[in-house]
Structure 1
Amino acid sequence: MESWKWRGRFYLYRWPSQRALKVLRDKVRTATSRSRTERPVAAVVAELNPVLRGWAGYFRKGNSARKFVAVDQYVHERLAIFTSDKHGLSGRNWAARYNYGWISRLGVFRLAGKWHGATAHAQR
């Protein structure tokens, strides 16, 4: 594992792998598939939150902030498209209809801000 130095300390230079991101995206895609639009959005969020919470807990050590933001954006997009399909709305203007306030009111677990920079050695 590589490390990088910031403010006199060495930090781990690691983040989630492409395979780990693909597995998470597959779980989100399955939960928000178009064939499951009969389910309420709250049930989909209740299914996704433990997955997101566990994934964040496992990968929060290191340098995962950018990957966490990318996952948050992906979850937001999938939920907005799912809700658009559920309500019969077409088009790619979901970003205007389903903004950050909407996803916050749903109670979706957000990964951004949940990472902790792990030092490469024990602190003294």
Structure 2
Amino acid sequence: MAEVLSPMGLRLSEEKTGVVHLDEGFTFLGFRIQRQRQQGRGKRYVYTWPSDKALTSVKHKVKAIAQQTTNVSLGTLLRRINLVLRGWTAYFQHGVSSHTFHDLSHYVWWLIGRWLRKKHRHASRGSTYGVGIKSTDGCGQTHGERAALPGRIQGSHSLPVPRRENPHPVGRVRGAPTRLTPRSSGEPDAR
């Protein structure tokens, strides 16, 4: 292998290079690659998921952002955290990452709750839970559940959501005429 790499100006690092069985698995570019049995079946497949080192690294980055200061708004904090998480999840989306993403989401939710309790020290725990976060779907419809990511910040720093006109105003149905029968000039107005 060294003979092939040396004309290109590359060399193998002996401490990082090893031969392992695929059942033992290995870490490459932040992914853990290992052959495992599929749950509920006897077939074996090669799975890739984010390595523990990569997950720990992104958790430390998010924690460092949250520990910088409490003198910023919740919206600013969420934007900073989202920048890190968007890039990390975009890189690892091609593996079997849903469990890792769920664990990371839980960790970030807990971290933001801790940040809110630190920022609002004199408030009760129940009053700070979910403060300033409203879950929305893609159309801007607000739901009752509270979520940190993705979410829309509410309050004075919230972004305006364009309002759509109701396609079916009260009393009108699409395609129905506005008046059922034309009025004659001598007929009194029904209003």
- Fold in common (TM above 0.5): yes
Q: Give the equivalent residue in structure 2 for 1:65.
A: 98
| Structure 2 unmatched runs, 5+ | 1-33, 134-144, 155-191
Q: Distance in 2 between matches of 1:81 and 1:65?
A: 24
Contact 1:29/1:78, CA 8 A, preserved across alignment: yes
Q: Give the equivalent residue in structure 1 for 2:129.
A: 97
Structure in which a larger fraction of residues adopt strand: 2
CA deviations over 1:75-123 (Å, ceiling 9, x no partner): 00000110111011578x57x823951523449xxxxxxxxxxxxxxxx
Which of the numbers 89, 112, 115 marks the counterpart of 1:56? Answer: 89
Alignment TM-score, normalising by the size of structure 2:
0.46
Residues paired across the two proteins, number: 104
Q: Distance in 2 between matches of 1:44 and 1:90?
A: 20
Which of the numbers 33, 48, 71 marks the counterpart of 1:38? Answer: 71
Which of the numbers 10, 16, 19 marks the counterpart of 2:50? Answer: 16
AA at the equivalent of 2:74: V
Q: After TM superposition, which residue ranges in structure 1, 4 or more long, deviate above 4 angstroms?
A: 3-6
Higher normalized contact order (CA 8 Å, seq sep 6+, divided by chain length): 1
Cα separation, partners in 2 of 1:83 and 1:70, compared to 1, 3 Å: same
Alignment TM-score, normalising by the size of structure 1:
0.67
Per the TM alignment, residue 39 of structure 1 is displaced from its structure 2 partner at its CA by 1.4
Structure in which a larger fraction of residues adopt helix: 1
